[in-house]
Amino acid sequence: MTAESGELLRARVSVDYEGRGAVLRDLDLRVAPGEIVGLAGQSGSGKSTLALALMGLLDPRRAAVRGAIHFRGRDLLTLPEREFRSLRGKEIAFVLQSALASLNPAMRIGAQLREAWEVHRGRGGDWKAEAGAALEAVSLPRDDAFFRRFPKDLSVGMAQRVLIAMAVLHRPALLIADEPTSALDVITQAEILKLFRGLNAAYGTAVLFITHDLPSAASLCHRIAVLHEGRIVETAAAPEIFERPRHPYTKRLIEALPRWEPAPA
């Protein structure tokens, strides 16, 4: 199997966890270069399992992964770990929901950005200029005072921005974001979505936006794939999903969305 031209990522995977059975079943997902794809599904549908499988981070003793994950024409499932390490965080980057937990509480922000730079670029190069550009891209200050801050000195929204800055430091071709806004209030959520849109436009970064929140996926993504019990039941352009949902599960998801109604007088 090879990736078709025009595809950045094509994943065809099944994952079984030991003692749990099939979690992803013949899942088939494509992401084109520069495309923002939403993966929407309820809790337990297998979203994080897919993210971990794409990043090669599932523990092989606990999870059996079958199929092929082609990224820029190479099958990640057969890639030696050493080669995967040079790709992970550089060509494919990852942002998680729990921003504060993903930062090292004992390290200053500058030191963490420097480490993220040096993992792939070594000691050479102007890490500070690159880190500054990444901070600017996520609308954070790039001065020394900010570099000297610790994670505890940041709001959750700022911490999430720092993680996104780290993720785009190497201008990845693909950014996988697993529920990056679920822990945030709605205003901060909207700001982060705007940021993804901006990074996509500025750097051409493709984004796989994983969420249980169909409306935020619709506001950000070009296409949405609906995941249900480990299978993608429907993929469509964002407005289509709302206007003409085809699969009964997608219809149920849309019907379950809260509607604003005035409180009774």
Ligand X SMILES: Nc1ncnc2c1ncn2[C@@H]1O[C@H](COP(=O)(O)OP(=O)(O)OP(=O)(O)O)[C@@H](O)[C@H]1O
Report residue 242 as tokens: 């709302």
Instruction: Give whichever of 41 and 180 is closer to ligand X, judged by the CB atom.
Output: 41
Among Mg ion, ligand X, none, what binds residue 41 when CB lies within 5 to 8 Å by partner kind? ligand X
Q: Which residue is nearest to Mg ion (CB)?
A: 48
Q: At what angle do helices 186-203 and 127-137 cross, to 10 degrees?
A: 120
Instruction: Give whichever of 51 and 158 is closer to Mg ion, judged by the CB atom.
Output: 51
Q: Are 37 and 29 in contact (CB under 8 A)?
A: yes
Residue 98 Cβ, how far from ligand X at the closest point, in Å?
11
Instruction: Give whichever of 24 and 159 is closer to ligand X, judged by the CB atom.
Output: 24
Instruction: Give whichever of 112 and 211 is closer to ligand X, judged by the CB atom.
Output: 211
Instruction: Give whichever of 11 and 140 is closer to ligand X, judged by the CB atom.
Output: 11
| Core vs surface per residue 45-83: b (16+ CB within 10 A) or e | bbbbbbbbbbbbebeeeebebebebbbeeeebbebeeee
Residue 96 Cβ, how far from Mg ion at the closest point, in Å?
9
Instruction: Give whichever of 10 and 47 is closer to ligand X, judged by the CB atom.
Output: 47
Residue 95 Cβ, how far from Mg ion at the closest point, in Å?
13
Cα 146 from chain centroid (whole Å): 25
Residue 208 Cβ, how far from Mg ion at the closest point, in Å?
13
Chain residues that interact with ligand X, rule: CB under 6 A = 17, 20, 23, 41, 43-49, 62, 212
Position 46, amino acid:
G
Among Mg ion, ligand X, none, what binds residue 45 when CB lies within 5 to 8 Å by partner kind? ligand X
Q: How many whole angstroms separate alpha carbon 119 and alpha carbon 103?
A: 16
Reported in sequence order, the residue ranges of the chain that DSSP labels E, i.e. its strands, are 9-17, 21-31, 36-40, 63-71, 74-75, 92-96, 174-178, 206-211, 223-228, 231-237
Residue 15 Cβ, how far from Mg ion at the closest point, in Å?
13
Q: How many whole angstroms separate alpha carbon 233 and alpha carbon 47?
A: 13
Among Mg ion, ligand X, none, what binds residue 78 when CB lies within 5 to 8 Å by partner kind? none
Chain residues that interact with Mg ion, rule: CB under 5 A = 47-48
Local structure of 175: helix, strand or coil: strand
Report residue 261 as tokens: 């109604």
Give the residue from 42, 34, 69 showing the smallest Cα distance to 249: 42
Residue 1 Cβ, how far from ligand X at the closest point, in Å?
24
